[in-house]
Amino acid sequence: MLKEGFLILSFNRLVILFFSIVVLASCGFQPLYDNNSLSGFVVNTPGVQNESSRIIYKGLTNVLSSSATSENYIIDFVIDEQSEDIDIREDEKVLRKNIVISVKFYVKKEKDEEEVFRGESLISSAYNRVAEPYANYVNEQDTRNRILILIVQDMRRQLALFRKNQKK
């Protein structure tokens, strides 16, 4: 009696294991993008030359492959940067500052300059203000650079999804 119960339990476990393997194998992982999905993009030099636009331009040219494909795309972008004081005490001393950077970008076909995609990346971050001016400058630059790196990564994801949808 004990052996029969053990065999039935073993058989049930084997059936469950088999079906779980089949189900897990059918749930295939497909990456968001591959190396080919980021090829064929050419980033235009921004019209307004400042440090933020240079960082985004350099970041995009590094992550996007500009190898020639049958259909190349041109990327133009515009940066809007704002900062605001937050956490203001009663004596009007600012304890934190918020930086908001928005990048609107446009993708055009290289052949006929037709706009095929429009995207926006908006990221904000805040930093603590202290009594030392140089420390505030360093905090502001560090926060701005981190935001710009995140924007480049977000734009990369959006462009990869755009290319993936173009292939369908």
Instruction: Report the distance separating Cα 56 and Cα 148, nearest Å.
Output: 6
CATH number at 153 reads 3.30.160.150
Phi, psi of 40 (to 5 degrees): 90, 10
Question: By C-alpha distance, which of 165, 160, 167, 121 is closest to 39?
Answer: 160
- Residue 94 is predicted with a pLDDT of 67
Number of domains present in the structure of the chain: 1
What pLDDT is attached to residue 80? 94
Give me the domain span that covers residue 132. Answer: 33-167
In sign, the C-alpha dihedral spanning 9, 15, 18, 20 is negative
Q: How high is the pLDDT of residue 33?
A: 58
Q: Is position 28 within any domain?
A: no
Does a structural domain hold residue 23? no
pLDDT in tens, the chain (168 residues): 445 544 455 777 777 877 777 766 666 656 655 656 677 888 888 888 899 999 999 999 888 866 656 678 899 999 999 999 887 676 667 688 999 999 999 999 888 888 899 999 999 999 988 888 899 999 999 999 999 999 999 999 999 888 888 765
How confident is the model at residue 8, as a pLDDT?
54
Domain-embedded: residue 148: yes
Nearest residue to 81 (alpha-carbon basis) of 108, 50, 54, 102: 102
Tell me, yes or no, whether 59 lies in a domain. Answer: yes
- pTM of the model as a whole: 0.75
Q: Is residue 99 situated within a structural domain? A: yes
Looking at residue 106, what is its pLDDT? 94
Residue 1's pLDDT is what?
A: 47
112 assigned to some structural domain:
yes
